[in-house]
Structure 1
Amino acid sequence: MIEASDTGSSQAAEEGRKRDFWPADKPGRKLPNPKLLYGASAALVAVIVAVVAVLVFTGGEDAPAVNKAVPTAYTPDFNGEGFAEIADRSADGRAITEGEAASAKELKGGAYSFTLAESEVTGDCKSATWGARLQGDLAKFGCSQIVRSAYVSHDKKHVGQFFVINMKDMQGVQQILRDLQRETGAGWVTPLKVPDVPAFGSGFSAAYAKTYGHYAVITWVERAGGDKSTTLNELIDVSLVIEGAADFLYGRLDLASGTGAGQ
């Protein structure tokens, strides 16, 4: 007699499922290395922590865009006449102070009058500029400070930016003035952004750079709000007024040459 077997019984089904889900160990089959699993887990945790840190400290927002404006017209003066006494920083080693940078609170010339809106001195020359080539030359030729000041005319029609770049020597100044020429694409000094002052660099603007010994002095002016209804002659007149903020450098020249008390 052949005994019948219940192939559909629950016990048989359970055994079948076990065989299907858990394949039998076979010779040569290797399990994952526990150390690799732990390493992968640690790496994943590190990535998660880094992402959380970025979100916490930045709020998940992108960094503000750098104002990469350049002047419409730019005129450099490489001469440096009258500043031979401080052609090298070794003759004028004292760092520019906040007081010197903000000393010209009011500027007036001809029909134009300006008030200092804000001034900043930084020892991080890269943070006040943009452009890899310009920043590379600033480092190469010994930039130690950049002064940036923003001016607004009393009638609110003009805005001006005033920069002083403290280089190691006159050779470095002349290289930076070459870098600032528009056709090089090397970069520029970033305008100082001031609350309640019209954004700078969007309209027709003119910049003039001069060699004051081991200092590069740059004035950059335009009509407030980027108004393009202006002439180059008008901006030249405005620029000459803004350049008056460089008067403190004459005090340094006097001190180095022994002809005055200086600042």
Structure 2
Amino acid sequence: MTSPSPSPPARKRRRSSARTQPKNIAALEEWGLSPAQQRLLVIAGSVAGVLVAAVVLTFAISAIGNDFVPERATAAAISTRPRPDTYKGWVSPKLFAPIEQNTADPAPLTLKDVFAEKTLKEGKVTLKLTESKLDAGCSAVIWGQELASQLAQAGCTQALRGAYTSADGRYIAQYTLLNLRDTTAADGLVQSLTAGYRGGWVQALESGGMLFPPDGHTEASGHAMGHYAGLVWIGRADGADPGQKDDFVSLSLAVRGAEKAVFRRVVAVSPSAAPS
């Protein structure tokens, strides 16, 4: 015996459901959920109602695990924080052995120590200091919980930042010098940033509208020098990728002119370290 055909209202409901489901799936994708997580939510119930969807989403995320963070939400949070696209770190050379411990070099740094020179030059690149700032402690000058914890453990007592623009307006740069406990702490910091710089970095100084754009291309490097760690951050002012005419090597070397302050500390502690 042939089963009776579904009533017109039933067919209409099925067609309506078929039209709605792709929109629901799209909404789940926008939340950054994986296909498996999407299926879990679809099975749990419809996402047509905003309140119901919120309750189900909370339940599903709890079931998946407390460490779950939607991929797109994470990307959105990071995108609001300017950070470099590339990073390289170097441990402290033997030259800085006299200031391995901050106890050997206890006098606090000043802005005049580090940013006394208002113009830095290397090759065809000339940088002009546009802003500088000294912070007692490091928590206010960085973002990222893991980086904040590491700097606290490293005994960071000072953070000095200087912002630069090139004379031709083509480049922007920032130099950050961190005063840490010892060489081990400085080496550990610049090395850990090789993997962690995307999840935690220094705050950019604003100077006359200069700000590293979140979507612009920038590059960075970290340099341990005894118990200090210097962070170089450079880029084009328009945020574009470097081209054949861009000399990022000279740009990086120019901004590192601020490190003369650290060399003077080495000589002060160990005069024999001065070049003959």
1:192 aligns with 2:205: yes
Contact 1:72/1:205, CA 8 A, preserved across alignment: yes
Displacement after TM superposition at 1:200 (Å): 4.6
CA distance in 1, matches of 2:157, 2:142: 13
Q: CA RMSD in A?
A: 2.4
Shift in CA distance, 247/67, structure 1 to aligned 2, threshold 3 Å: farther
Classify the secondary structure of the residue corresponding to 2:177: strand
Contact 2:114 2:260 in 1 (8 A): no
SS at match of 1:181: helix
Residue 237 of structure 1 corresponds to 250
Q: 2:114 aligns with which of 84, 93, 101?
A: 101
Does the aligned pair in 2 maintain the 1:162–1:243 contact within 8 Å? yes
Give per-residue Cα distances to partners, 1:146-170, cap 9 Å, x unaligned.
1111000000000001010100001
The aligned counterpart of 1:125 is 138
Q: Secondary structure at the match of 1:240?
A: helix
Which has more radius of gyration? 1
Is the Cα–Cα contact under 8 Å of residues 205 and 235 in structure 1 kept in the other structure? no
- Kept in 1: contact 2:205–2:211 (CA 8 A): no
Work out whether residues 159 and 179 of structure 2, in 8 Å CA contact, stay in contact via their aligned partners in 1: yes
Amino acid at match of 2:269: A
Aligned-partner residue type, residue 126 of structure 1 = S
**What one-letter code is carried by the residue in structure 2 that aligns with 1:155?**
D
Contact 1:179 1:187 in 2 (8 A): no
The correspondence for 1:150, drawn from 163, 173, 186, is 163
Task: Pick the aligned partner of 2:188 from 172, 175, 190.
Answer: 175
* Offset of residue 204 of structure 1: 1.6
- CA separation in 2, counterparts of 1:146 and 1:220? 15
Q: Deviations over 1:189-247 (max 9, x none)?
A: 11112223254554221111111100001111000021224369722221011111111
Query: Displaced runs of 4+ in structure 1, greater than 6 A?
Result: none
% of aligned pairs identical? 27
Q: Which amino acid aligns with 1:180?
A: L
Aligned residue pairs, count: 197
Is 1:88–1:214's contact at 8 Å kept on the other side of the alignment? yes
> Unpaired segments of 5 or more residues in structure 2?
1-77
Q: For residues 178 and 68 of structure 1, what CA distance do their matches in structure 2 show? A: 21
The correspondence for 1:207, drawn from 207, 220, 229, is: 220
TM-score between both structures, scaled by the size of structure 1: 0.69
Alignment TM-score, normalising by the size of structure 2? 0.66
**Cα gap change, 1:198/1:141 in structure 2, threshold over 3 Å: closer, same or farther?**
closer
In the alignment, does 2:83 pair up with 1:76?
no
In the alignment, the residues of structure 2 paired with residue 95 and residue 66 of structure 1 have an alpha-carbon distance, to the nearest angstrom, of 35
**Distance in 2 of aligned mates of 1:163 and 1:179:** 17
Unaligned runs of 5+ in 1: 1-64
